[in-house]
Amino acid sequence: MNRPATPPLAEPSGWHDVRLTVNGTEVAAQVESRLLLGDLLRDRLGLTGTHLGCEHGVCGACTVLVDGEPVRACLTLAVQCDGADLRTVESLAPGDAPLTGVQRAFHECHGMQCGFCTPGFVMTATALTERADRPSDAEVADALSGHLCRCTGYRNIRRAVRQALDERFGE
């Protein structure tokens, strides 16, 4: 049988066993020190809903929730997430589950154009709806400003987030 060779170890002790929870499932993986969280999710776990855009923390496309808070998967090493609880866009409506309020609002308000940036926006909006109190308009604007939509579809995205927050916290 032809088996691909294991790549040579770049550094002798640069591999680490990590355990984390991804979308509710326990995952144990051996990761190289330099493996970024976005690459663990996409390449190793096959969760390609998380999109990598700029890969230096500017565009927000790779935003996922780590222990409930939005973080940049491109500015986080996989090894730093040992023991963490991760949620990606795949966690929101698995299988035939109904869409979440945020997803439905993005659908109904057409809060996407090409859709590349959408998973990041959706995860940020999800975190906003999970807060104890309704975030202020300034906080919503601040949160959304961390995401670049290259189709410039912000009007509908803002409408979608407002609808999701109205549904969650009342108008």
Partner 1 sequence: MKPAPFDYAAPRSIGEAVALLADPDRDAKVLAGGQSLIPMLGMRLARPELLVDVTRVPGLDRLHVDGAGALHVGASVRQARVAADPDVRAGWPLLADAIGLIGHPPIRHRGTLCGSLVHHDPAAELPAAALALDARLVVEGPRGRRTVPAAEFFVATFQTAVEPDELLVEAVFDRTPPRGAAFAELARRHGDFATVGAAVLLERAADGTVRSARVVFCGAGSTPVRLPAAEDALTGTDAGEAALAAAAAAVHAHLEPGDDVHASAEYRREAAAHLLVRACTEAWERA
Binding residues for partner 1, rule: CB under 8 A, are 10-14, 16, 32-34, 36, 39, 55-57, 60, 63, 66, 69-72, 74-77, 79-80, 82, 124, 142-143, 145-146
β-sheet bridge partners, residue 164: none
Q: Determine contact, residues 62/38, Cβ cutoff 8 Å.
A: yes
What three-state secondary structure class fits 125?
helix
Q: Determine contact, residues 102/135, Cβ cutoff 8 Å.
A: no
25 or 145, CB closer to partner 1?
145
> Shortest Cβ distance from residue 9 to partner 1 (Å)?
9
44 or 104, CB closer to partner 1?
44
> Shortest Cβ distance from residue 72 to partner 1 (Å)?
5
> Shortest Cβ distance from residue 2 to partner 1 (Å)?
27
What φ, ψ does residue 163 adopt, rounded to 5°?
-60, -45
**Closest by CA position to 42, among listed 57, 33, 55:** 55
> Shortest Cβ distance from residue 130 to partner 1 (Å)?
13
The burial class, CB within 10 Å (0-12 / 13-18 / 19+), for 60 is buried
Cα–Cα dist 117/146, whole Å: 11
32 or 108, CB closer to partner 1?
32
115 or 146, CB closer to partner 1?
146
99 or 135, CB closer to partner 1?
135
Q: Determine contact, residues 45/23, Cβ cutoff 8 Å.
A: no
> Shortest Cβ distance from residue 19 to partner 1 (Å)?
14
